[in-house]
Chain A
């Protein structure tokens, strides 16, 4: 099964990830958003850069994965893929793996940049595991976004952006969790990005709101929840993709 997962991931990378618009959306977009919100605000550099890492991680891991299924439905390549001896689980794992690789590589850029300009990484092991689990979690979320059986990538993009953008604002990236009102904090708990941001912040020497292990554990719970939901919903909707 692992060989087939890798084969599908490799196909995804060649077909979808190594494209100019993807790089632009995955890399430049978080940078622009970052500058738009932070310029002129008197915040420590470690706070700013940890926010940028979280945002990059989230955007890159969810940039392409939601549109693979509708794209392949449209090109009819999904039908070809399904007729091969692979299960939906294998296809989904392959898509997640491709997104994971892309997310890890691109998210490493702001981390390396931070190190280069002299920012201390106080908890590198935690950051490593946080990065791995967060990327897996957001990649699964990206695949979950694509469950509606449409052949139009634009429909899925609209749907995923409808969820992604509010999550950015309710995760402590722009405003530290401790400074939010009590009502605002309730919303934070339902966003996996909150726990991911908290790990990155802590690794960069900022104060954490939750304990690091609680963050890792919660992210794992979210990851498996998204993964199982994605498999269940994609299996359920598969036939509808082939209706003419």
Chain B
């Protein structure tokens, strides 16, 4: 029977001298899933990434990539992965084309020239294929690294902070590409400290702190951890009179009113009825859920 989990980590421990980087972390990533690995700086994200990519070895525990033991069958496991490390690390004096071809040959990719051309066109780098990597902007470098990670058409992509430090346009392009790859059925393991990014892209999220995973779930379930209700924020065209302040527990600030509710539908119906009765004009309505940032702050602070 085919294992539904393509990345498996079992009780991984790693220390650097007296510093415990990972303190027995375990998790599993399903096939075709975009799995976010969230944590503050120094939490152990990059160490986990490096162990999964076979760059460093754990002190204890083990990881499997599509059933291949990362310690004993390292080359087979690496063959299934496309890797985007945190630091832009293409060879600066090699051209865009030579960088991508170099990686293609290390992965023994067939028809690599055709694949490289397609990828460079897809990432809008074909016109710069003869430029040296050091001549590219940071956004372009990151796109090149993503091309290099995808040249072997891997079923698994491991991306370490893929949009860190990028301009808005490049970050958006890379996020879109990651989501498209997720839709194509690729498994994506993504480390990030960008909560909105995780919220937008990930099917499940693990939060790591001081080398320990403190929770794993989908973003929707994680939001429930905060215990916050949904907030409906309404802005009217004028301030409400005392007689019109009929919402219990609502926060009123001039023309704006914030109502905490469990039923968005009922609340909005009630507001629109009230506005019609009192002759109020609604300028805007916003519905706010608890954000992943709320979850992150709550969990990280709680489990100190």
Chain A positions within 8 Å of B, measured between CB atoms, are 3-4, 7-8, 11, 14-15, 75-77, 79-87, 238-239, 242-243
**When the two chains form their complex, are residues B91 and A15 in contact, meaning their CB atoms are under 8 A apart?**
yes
From A79, A80, A85, A243, contact of B16 by CB (8 A): A243
Q: Could you tell me the distance between the alpha carbons of A141 and B57 in the complex, rounded to whole angstroms?
A: 27
- How far does the Cβ of A21 sit from chain B's closest Cβ, in whole Å? 13
Give bound CA distance, A79 to B92, whole Å.
14
Chain A residues near B55 (CB-CB < 8 A): 79, 82-83, 242
Judge whether B54 and A7 touch: CB under 8 Å.
no
Q: Which residue of A lies closest to B105 (CB)?
A: A7
Task: State whether A4 touches B91 (Cβ < 8 A).
Answer: no
Q: Does B94 contact A80, Cβ atoms closer than 8 Å?
A: no
Q: Are B94 and A14 in contact (CB under 8 A)?
A: yes
| Contact assessment for A14 and B78 in the assembled complex, using a CB-CB cutoff below 8 Å | no
Contact A11 B54 (CB under 8 A): no
Task: Enumerate chain B residues within 8 angstroms of A82, measured Cβ to Cβ.
Answer: 54-55
Contacts of A11 in B (CB 8 A): 91, 94, 102
Structural contact, A7 and B92, CB atoms closer than 8 A: no
Q: How many A-B pairs fall under 8 Å by CB? A: 71
Contacting residues, chain A, for B78 (C-beta < 8 A) = 83-85
Is B89's CB within 8 Å of the partner chain A?
yes
In the bound complex, residues from chain A placing their C-beta under 8 Å from that of B53 are 83
Q: Is the CB of A84 within 8 A of B56?
A: no
- B57-94 CB mask vs A (1 if < 8 Å, else 0) is 10000000000000000111011010101010111111
Instruction: Assess the B105–A3 pair: CB atoms within 8 A.
Output: yes
Distance A14 CA – B105 CA, assembled complex (angstroms):
15
Check if A76 sits within 8 Å of B89, measured CB to CB: yes
Whether A79 and B105, one on each chain, are in contact in the complex, defined by CB atoms closer than 8 angstroms, is no
Q: In the complex, which residues of chain B have a beta carbon less than 8 angstroms from the beta carbon of A83? A: 53-55, 78, 81, 83, 85
| B30 interface residue (CB < 8 Å to A) | no
Does B123 make an interface contact (CB < 8 A)?
A: no
| Distance in Å: Cβ of B56 to nearest Cβ of chain A | 5
**A239: which B residues are within 8 A, CB to CB?**
56-57
Which of B87, B90, B107 sits near A84, CB closer than 8 Å? Answer: B107
